[in-house]
Amino acid sequence: MPSQLNQLRQFTTVVADTGDFESIRVHKPTDATTNPSLILKAVQQDTYKPLLIETIKEFPNHSVEEKLDHLLIKFGQKILDVVPGRVSTEVDARLSFDTQGTIERAKHLIQLYEQAGIDRSRILIKIAATWEGIQAARQLEQEGIKCNMTLIFSLVQAVACADAKAQLISPFVGRIYDWYKKQAGNQWVEADNAGSNDPGVKSVSKIYHYYKKFGIKTEIMGASFRNTSQILALAGCDLLTISPDLLQALSQQDTPITRVLDEQDSQQKAINPLVLDEKTFRFLLNQEAMATEKLAEGIRAFVADAEKLDTLITSTLG
């Protein structure tokens, strides 16, 4: 019997969620995703610290911001040497509420990739799914720059991203699970909230059925998993981005798995289309405490790690 990881590949495109390209080499995913937290973790390891030093030496007169962008590109290049598909590179989270700033930074990242000989078809620019980020993606997609909309916690965000014709969205399964578990406190019963009943799994399933019901082409990539149960409960999702430890766990199990999400099932569901403008988007997102809180928390966390990367670059200069 093939491993669960190889069985999963029959239904879903497997993506590695890491900046560790040596672990990517082991598990052979199709694509890979990175974010500031993952890059920060990687450059503090002896294996990858030389990339940081090399970047600083190569661009001695560039600003810290520019050095950070070059560091992201170096990681992206290394990852693309290993995966056959695409890599996601994130725009600085400090621009999450700056549409024009996001557009300019995204174009700069693409320019750096192209100068390095990487075709833009292999790059997804990651942008937080705020209203401002979604509008930046709308323009970037029109200019041929593909976007991965991250920090998705609600159908409202997913529909707005689809309206903007974003290439891909990343709904965060584990962080949704975390919020509901924390809210429930001592009332939480793990067995009652596992598999298809997991609140993060339910959120992604809802988005999946909406997209397939209305023929939306934007790809759905489940992200932020806490355990393999969440992953297997979303077998059939367009893509799933998985951390190295969970990729390893799936590769060591051979219990049979089945497809859970199916496009044909979506057609049988009664789903009303959601029509959004800015006011409606902001109001409906505000009405979802979990989505509002986790989006804000996620941006803060990515900003904090971007600032730590800045500090690391500056201290390494000395």
* Residue of 123, 126, 108 whose CA lies nearest to 70: 108
CA 62 to each of CA 40, 132, 236: distance values in angstroms, whole numbers, following the listed order: 20, 28, 45
Residues in the chain: 318
Nearest to residue 29, comparing CAs of 296, 240, 263, 312? 240
Run of H or E residues at 43 = helix 36-43
pTM of the predicted structure, to 2 decimals: 0.96
Tell me the Ramachandran region of residue 280: left when phi exceeds 0, alpha when psi lies from -120 to 50, beta otherwise: alpha
* Cβ neighbourhood burial of 298 (10 Å; 0-12, 13-18, 19+): buried
Q: Which of 137, 139, 147, 126 is nearest to 298 (CA)?
A: 126
Contact present, 96 and 130 (Cβ < 8 Å): yes
pLDDT of residue 1: 85
pLDDT digits (tens, 9 = 90+) for 288-303: 999 999 999 999 999 9
Q: Where does residue 215 fall: left (phi above 0), alpha (psi -120 to 50 degrees), or beta otherwise? A: left
Those residues of the chain that have pLDDT short of 70 are 317-318
Question: What are the tokens at 62?
Answer: 């560039």
Cα 74 versus chain centre, distance: 19
User: Any idea which residue has 């909230």 for tokens?
Assistant: 193
Burial classification of residue 221, based on how many CB atoms lie within 10 Å of its CB (0-12 exposed, 13-18 middle, 19 or more buried) = buried
pLDDT at 142: 98
Residue 291 in contact with residue 131, Cβ under 8 Å?
A: no
- Catalytic residue annotation: 126
| Cβ-contact 292, 78 below 8 angstroms | no
> Span 4-317: which CATH code?
3.20.20.70
Cα separation, 240 vs 220, in Å, equals 8
Beta-bridge partner residues of 88:
33, 124
Instruction: Reduce the DSSP state of residue 165 to 3 states and report it.
Output: coil
Structure tokens at 31: 């694509």
- pLDDT given at position 318: 56
**Two structure tokens written together for 263:** 């496009």
Q: At which residue do the structure tokens 């969205």 appear?
A: 169
pLDDT at 294: 98
Distance between CA atoms of residues 216 and 211, nearest Å: 5
Q: Are 276 and 163 in contact (CB under 8 A)?
A: yes
Q: Containing H/E element for 162?
A: helix 155-163
Q: What is the pLDDT of residue 21?
A: 83
Q: Which two tokens stand for residue 97?
A: 């509420």
Q: How many CB atoms lie within 10 A of CB 310?
A: 17
Q: Measuring CA to CA, how many Å separate 277 from each of 86, 226, 274, 289?
A: 31, 34, 10, 20
The reported pLDDT for the residue numbered 304 is 95
